[in-house]
Structures are given as C-alpha cells and as structure tokens.
Amino acid sequence: MQFNKKVVTSIVLGPWASTATADCAPASDPFTFCDIAGRNTVLRVCFDDFNLTYSYGVPGETPQLFLSEPIADADYHPWDAPAPTSGSITFRSGDYAYEVASLFVTQPFDDGIPSVTHFGWITVTRNGEVVDKLECRPEPARYTYGGSLYERMTAMGMVWKGYGRGWTVE
C-alpha cells in the first residue's frame, strides 16, 4: 500500500509544526497511537482540554502532517454497542479528510481470561474519494483509545446521540 505523497506535500503546516514532534505534547492525552505497517512512520492523535491534534510522520522528527482543531468541532464517533469496541475521528484539511479508526476485539484465552486485539487504520480521502488506506500494526502496548475524550466532550455539555444524529449541545 503506497501513501500518496501529494497528500502530505499539499498540506500547508501552521507555524507550530516546526516545533512539534510525532509525540503528544506534555499537557496532552493520547487518543490513538499507531505504528503504520510497512513504514517507519507513526500516527498520534492527542488532545488537551480544548484541542485535538493529528500528527503523522517519522518518530522524533517534525511531522509530515500536523492538524489541530477544537474539541467542540470534532468529527468523533465513539463506540456504539453492540459490536466490537470501535470508533473513529476525522480530521479535515482542504479537500482532504483523514479518518482514524480503531477497533478492539475481545477474545478469550484457553483459561477464560479475555485477550484484547487492537486494529486500526487511517483512510485518506480527497473530495470524498479514497486515495489511500494506511494500516496500523497491532501492538496492544502502543495503542490507546481515549475514553477520556468522550468524558471531556460530555463535560463541555455535549451529548452523543448516536451515528444518525451525532453530538448535540444540551
């Protein structure tokens, strides 16, 4: 699977990108960490009390793509039961959208203790057309899936009404 280099190079980074790294800022919480399969790149989706950030690039270097938006504007779809635990968050920049999806599947070990397998991917679209899909390497120790983002959004007075209605302010 080839990442469309035009996607990365077409993005204009803000002045903050020169000092950002592929890791979360010290005051931020992780939402999803993802090592991209077959590449030496990582995706970090992080958030603080007000903003979400999307950072893609080589670990320890200036990100190739860095996006930020207010939590209140997030296109975040938390897990809706019944199903494997899943959710997604989409960032937009110009004609491009970057949907980060996570899926957690619980399966029992032989002794009945549950095992959790994590999957993830980033779907890149341009004007609604898929231009690339990056798969995450499943590594449970490197994955998080931020329930605390849901808590922060509800603390802001937002209520999740499901996939049909999304978030509302009450």
Q: Is 164 contained in some domain?
A: no
Q: Is 165 contained in some domain?
A: no
Q: Is 38 contained in some domain?
A: yes
Q: Is 15 contained in some domain?
A: no
For residue 131, the enclosing domain spans 5-10+22-158
For residue 96, with 0-12 CB atoms within 10 Å meaning exposed, 13-18 middle and 19 or more buried, which class applies?
A: buried
Give the residues across from 121 on adjacent strands.
101, 135
Q: Is 74 contained in some domain?
A: yes
Distance of CA 119 to the CA centre of its chain: 12
Tokens representing 26 are 């010290």
Q: Is 151 contained in some domain?
A: yes
Q: Is 117 contained in some domain?
A: yes
pLDDT given at position 32: 82
Write the pLDDT tens digit of every residue in 124-136.
Answer: 999 999 999 999 8
pLDDT given at position 141: 36
Q: What is the mean pLDDT of each run of 10 residues along the chain (170 residues)?
A: 34 33 74 86 90 91 93 83 68 95 67 65 95 82 58 87 80
Average pLDDT of the chain to the nearest whole number: 75
CA distances from 29 to 38, 52, 108, 148 (A): 26, 10, 29, 8
Taking phi over 0 as left and psi of -120 to 50 as alpha, with beta for the rest, 127 belongs to left
d(CA 98, CA 108): 33
Q: Is 140 contained in some domain?
A: yes
Count structural domains, the chain.
1
CA distances from 152 to 39, 133, 137, 148 (A): 33, 29, 28, 6
